[in-house]
Amino acid sequence: MVVAIVGLGVFGVSMALKLIDEGAEVFAIDKEEEKVRKYANFVTHAVAADVTDRDAMESIGIRNADVAVITTASNITMSVMGTMILKELGIPNVIAKAKDEMHGRILQAVGASRVVYPEKEAGERLAHSILSNNFIDLIELDPRFSILEIKAPEKVVGRTLKQIDVRAKYGVNIVAVKSGNNWILTPGANDIIKQNDILVTIGSNEDLERFKE
């Protein structure tokens, strides 16, 4: 997979390095040549270019990217224009970072496949971790539904999934269980939840909140 990272700030660089580590090809783009030189040896390809310049995007071969991520939200005009241009050039999946909800709605209106709010999401994760002893991680699928990773609540320890019946009682699904160093994907009805097991659950935010209490 070829991923174009537009913007080599902290967020963009962190994403680029992680993608490289996971085996993806990373095409890094930034207007500042100094940043491009700094990180050129750590990515597959790096180039100094302006995402709002359609001709420049075509000339550097941005069409070859499977996914493009616009990582800068401070310049709203740039992120909106960049999203429009990348979609017009045929990139199937354009992900854009938004400064706030209004910015996000504009990005969606011009064609962003997905809008992310890293600061908001990090703040929510921290709040959850402060307020809940068993919280590990949260991935928001949309404003109403999430994937929640938690330590098994005491109320389910020592019981089978059939006995717990979380779908009927709480409206959530347990899609995976980590027991010790072993992951159980699509756990069966007779699998027993043990102390310190990690549960990966999916459901509405309201139902997940009830389940983890």
Closest CA to 6 of 100, 96, 84, 118: 96
Q: Is 106 helix (H, G, I), strand (E, B) or coil?
A: helix
**Residues 74, 136: one domain?**
no
pLDDT in tens, 130-161: 555 555 666 767 667 888 888 898 899 999 99
Position 104 scores a pLDDT of 92
112 with 127, same domain: the answer is no
pLDDT digits (tens, 9 = 90+) for 45-97: 999 999 999 999 999 999 999 999 999 888 899 999 999 999 999 999 999 99
**Domain end position, chosen among 81, 116, 151:** 116
Residues 53 and 112 in one domain: yes
Where in the sequence is the domain holding 168, given as residue range(s)? 120-212
- What's the total number of domains in the chain? 2
Domain-terminating residue out of 66, 81, 116: 116
> DSSP of 140-191, one letter per residue?
ESSSSEEEEEEEPPGGGTT-BHHHH-HHHHHS-EEEEEEETTEEEES--TTP
Q: Which of 116, 140, 158 is the last residue of a domain?
A: 116
CATH number at residue 170: 3.30.70.1450
Whether residue 186 sits in one domain with residue 103? no
User: Residues 96-125: pLDDT tens digits?
Assistant: 999 888 999 999 999 999 998 877 776 666
Beta-bridge partners for 96: 70, 115
Residue 80 CB contacts under 8 Å (≥ 6 apart), including other chains? 106, 107, 110
Rounded distance between C-alpha atoms, residue 195 and residue 156, angstroms: 9
Quick one: 94 and 134 in the same domain? Answer: no
